[in-house]
Amino acid sequence: MKIGLIGLGRMGGNIARRLMHAGHEVVAYDRSAEAVTALAKDGAEAAHSLDDVRAKLGSPAIWWVMLPAGGPTEETIQAIGAGASDGDIIIDGGNTFYKDDIRRAKALADKGVHYVDVGTSGGVWGLERGYCMMIGGDVETVNLLDPIFDALAPGYGSIPRTPGRVAEAVDARAEKGYIHAGPAGAGHFVKMIHNGIEYGLMQAYAEGFDILKSKSSDKLPEDERFDLNLTDIAEVWRRGSVISSWLLDLTAIALAKDGMLEGFSGSVADSGEGQWTIDAAMEEKVPANVLTASLFARYRSRVDHTFGDKVLSAMRFGFGGHVEMPQ
């Protein structure tokens, strides 16, 4: 198939490459002419504007937008939508808030344009491993795009089949690494929860390794300390333990390089999806203490002292005359 790829960053560029490896044609555009040139060298058809992409795609046009969520994605999809014709398809492969998908799909449907949201996991490893995709949109359009998703997905690979899985009852594509999750928005909703879980898993490992490391702290009495080798612990847990995972594999890689992780300060960013997951939990009245604590740990990692800490100090001084601890 022929597809216009808008946004050639780390994710978009690799998605284009993986599509071309599978024999698809890519018309590539990015604000950065350099990025366009780089991808053209890898076989893409270079475009110099959205209009240029449209001209090169012909009709019906298939667009894959791979831009930062929020403003950049919104403006680009508005622009593409403005010039789109009946039967065109716009895919948003970024990290868009799912309620924006629902709104856009409705607006575009009025002029016969199909909107598909694709939650894409895989990070910088996707070019090689394939991308796990959670897709929202109408059935016909998602089916029509199957060759695209099939090319991007990891496929069966070496991952063992799930025993007891009855293929007829379920979406067979799941075993190849992509699913049609539901109508517009459902793809990004599932991806959002995926990221919420990701925060929780990461924080669970983070706290565990913190306790392991602090067991050698000189704040403990000398006979209560262990001097544990975190590099080996991460490695051994990859083998036959209940907590083996890909995130643990990555941790093992990092700890193999530097068992103290001294190259990292520990100021941790969070994207919108962690926050939206908590919003969804609250809308549904689902208790989500772990996912929330994981998000808050990131906020906390980025401030030296919260104002809340100072309120505590002030109260303690008020009732007990306590002066603050030296840090």
Would you name the residues annotated as active-site residues? Answer: 191, 198
Question: Which three-class secondary structure state does DSSP give residue 226?
Answer: coil
| 316 makes contact with its own copies (CB under 8 A) | yes
Starting at the earlier edge strand, list the strands of the sheet with 2-6.
45-46, 25-29, 2-6, 62-65, 89-92, 114-121, 132-136, 178-182
What letter would DSSP give residue 160? Answer: P
Binding piece for its own copies, criterion CB under 8 A, among 48-56, 64-72, 80-88, 269-277: 269-277
Does a cis peptide bond (omega within 30 degrees of 0) precede residue 163? no
Nearer of residues 58 and 266 to its own copies, judged by Cβ:
266
Q: What is the Cα–Cα distance from 64 to 7, expressed in whole angstroms?
A: 9
| 281 makes contact with its own copies (CB under 8 A) | yes
Exposure string of 130-156, with b = 16+ CB inside 10 Å and e = fewer, is bbbbbbbbbeebbebbeebbebbbbee
Q: Are strands 132-136 and 178-182 parallel, antiparallel or unpaired?
A: parallel
Give 249's contacts (C-beta < 8 A, 6+ positions apart). 238
- Position 118, amino acid: V
Residue of 66, 125, 145, 146 interacting with its own copies (CB under 8 A): 125
| 211 makes contact with its own copies (CB under 8 A) | yes
| 319 makes contact with its own copies (CB under 8 A) | yes
Q: Which of residues 23-82 bind its own copies (CB under 8 A)?
A: none
Residue of 62, 137, 251, 273 interacting with its own copies (CB under 8 A): 251
Q: Which of residues 136-195 bind its own copies (CB under 8 A)?
A: 153-154, 157-160, 162-166, 169-171, 173-179, 181-183, 185-186, 189-190, 193-194
> Could you tell me which of 295, 300, 96 has the C-alpha nearest to residue 202?
295
* H or E segment to which residue 5 belongs: strand 2-6
Retrieve residue 4's tokens: 């216009």
Nearer of residues 82 and 319 to its own copies, judged by Cβ:
319
CB of 21 to its own copies, least distance (A): 15
Retrieve residue 58's tokens: 């012909």
CB of 85 to its own copies, least distance (A): 28
Retrieve residue 73's tokens: 């994605």
Q: What is the Cα–Cα distance from 324 to 327, expressed in whole angstroms?
A: 9
Nearer of residues 52 and 249 to its own copies, judged by Cβ:
249
| 253 makes contact with its own copies (CB under 8 A) | yes
Provide the mask over 87-116, with x wherever binding to its own copies is found by CB under 8 A and - wherever it is not.
------------------------------
**Neighbouring-strand partners of residue 62:** 89
Distances (CA, A) of 107 to 53, 137, 277: 22, 14, 25
CB of 86 to its own copies, least distance (A): 25
Q: State the angle between helix axes of 246-257 and 230-237 in degrees (0 to 180), rounded to the nearest 10.
A: 150
Nearer of residues 75 and 128 to its own copies, judged by Cβ:
128
Nearer of residues 76 and 277 to its own copies, judged by Cβ:
277
Provide the mask over 229-248, with x wherever binding to its own copies is found by CB under 8 A and - wherever it is not.
x-xxx-xxxxxxxxxxxxxx
| 228 makes contact with its own copies (CB under 8 A) | yes
Nearer of residues 27 and 105 to its own copies, judged by Cβ:
105
Nearer of residues 63 and 149 to its own copies, judged by Cβ:
149
Residue pair 297/203 in contact by the 8 Å Cβ criterion? yes
CB of 250 to its own copies, least distance (A): 3
Q: Which of residues 292-311 bind its own copies (CB under 8 A)?
A: 292-311
CB of 92 to its own copies, least distance (A): 17
